[in-house]
Amino acid sequence: MNQRPRRNRRTPALRNMVRETRLTVDNLIYPLFLVDGKKIKKEVKSLPGNYRWSLDLLLGEIEACMELGLRNFILFPAVKESLKDKKATYSYHPKNFYLKAAKAIKKRFPECCLISDVAMDPYSSDGHDGLVKKGMIINDMTLPILGKMAVAQARAGFDLIGPSDMMDGRIGFIRRALDQAGYVDTGIMSYCAKYASAFYGPFRDALDSAPKAGDKKTYQMDPANKREALIEAKLDIAEGADFLMVKPAIHYLDVIHSLRENTHLPIAAYHVSGECAMLVAAAQKGWLDFDQAMPEALLSIRRAGADVILTYFAKMWAAKYS
Ligand code: PBG
């Protein structure tokens, strides 16, 4: 045999030298759930090791992450039912606790990268990402609401705005709204190819944000479609996105790869709540070695072509491997 691929696998030094994909803490974004109040740290039942935090305790958690070198965060609000309405008006209310928290976080940790969530669902009494009329999700009437939300978030100091709603034309609408308000330097991480997935379950538990009626199939993508992700990517690029996201990640590695091959913006992949929960549950049963399976999962997302990974394991990875 002239060729023996095993030669390059013989020692750790050789394997490290020829390793094609690497993961560092700079590639990770840590999702955090925020709730109004004080001294709250309540575990999300379906996502062990993740909590709903009140701001006072969240600041300590962010500090602990920063000490591990992890400095990218995406923040989601768990909003009281009484503050929700059909038009998600609380999302841009000046007293909104999510906006106040962002300001406090950026003041205390100016060097962190803080990413927002733009979508109506955490604030909507219908639990949908768009405006609901007669059971339909109305695209164009949703856009001005998203625009107001994005501008309020930019004002609060978020580094990147994260539209997760999948309405058509929202990246362009939000870009113009930000520019007109003077936030030309606030970037947009677009949830570009976001699928109508069953793997968001634990997240909806964390935020109590499940739709009250129907599902999200008229706006989130059909899991069967890959070419359509390229249509979405083309639109988002033309409309002014700074990052393209694929979501979920592990079950959509081919989509990540396709966007990587066909576009040039940085690609983010959202290793979603259900994908993380599966690993935790299997490990709890003793069916998987978590310490090996978790980094393998994250590395696979990188190998597929993602520059950055949003994962509930970010802090754990930083603590163990960075
Ligand atoms: C909603 C939103 C969802 C997630 C992020 N933003 C859920 C949904 O579309 O219902 C899911 C994230 C996860 O499961 O970890 N705007």
Residue 22's pLDDT is what?
96
Active-site choice (84, 148, 247, 315): 247
Sort residue 10 into left (φ over 0), alpha (ψ -120 to 50) or beta: alpha
**Alpha-carbon dihedral 197, 201, 206, 212, rounded to 10 degrees:** 80
Dihedral sign (CA 147, 240, 136, 195): negative
To test ligand 1's pocket by mutation, which of 46, 47, 52, 121 has the most ligand atoms within 8 angstroms of CB? 121
Query: For ligand 1, atom 6, which residue shows the shortest CA distance?
Result: 164
Distance 185 CA to ligand 1 centre (A): 26
Residue 206's pLDDT is what?
87
Ligand 1 atom with the shortest distance to the CA of 129: 16
**Alpha-carbon dihedral 72, 24, 275, 303, rounded to 10 degrees:** 130
**Distances 291 to 26, 165, 231, 317 between C-alpha atoms, Å:** 20, 33, 38, 9
Q: Which two tokens stand for residue 93?
A: 């209310």
Q: Which two tokens stand for residue 261?
A: 């091959």
Ligand 1 atom with the shortest distance to the CA of 194: 9
- Please give the domain boundaries of the chain with CATH numbers for all domains: 23-321 (3.20.20.70)
Distance 35 CA to ligand 1 centre (A): 16
Please give the backbone phi and psi of residue 42, each rounded to the nearest 5 degrees, phi first. Answer: -115, 120
Query: For ligand 1, atom 14, which residue shows the shortest CA distance?
Result: 200
Q: In terms of Cα–Cα distance, which of 201, 226, 228, 227 is closest to 215? A: 201
Active-site choice (194, 212, 216, 315): 194
Query: For ligand 1, atom 2, which residue shows the shortest CA distance?
Result: 164
Find where tokens 């709204």 sit. Answer: 177
84 tagged catalytic: no
Q: Measured from the CB, is residue 117 less than 6 Å from ligand 1?
A: yes
Distance CA 174, CA 240 (A): 9
Residue 104's pLDDT is what?
98
Q: Measured from the CB, is residue 46 less than 6 Å from ligand 1?
A: no
247 tagged catalytic: yes
Distance 77 CA to ligand 1 centre (A): 11
Distance 213 CA to ligand 1 centre (A): 16
Neighbour-count burial for 88-116, b at 16+ CB within 10 Å, e otherwise: bbbbbeeebbbbebbebbbeebeebbbbb
User: Residue ranges of the chain with pLDDT lower than 70?
Assistant: none
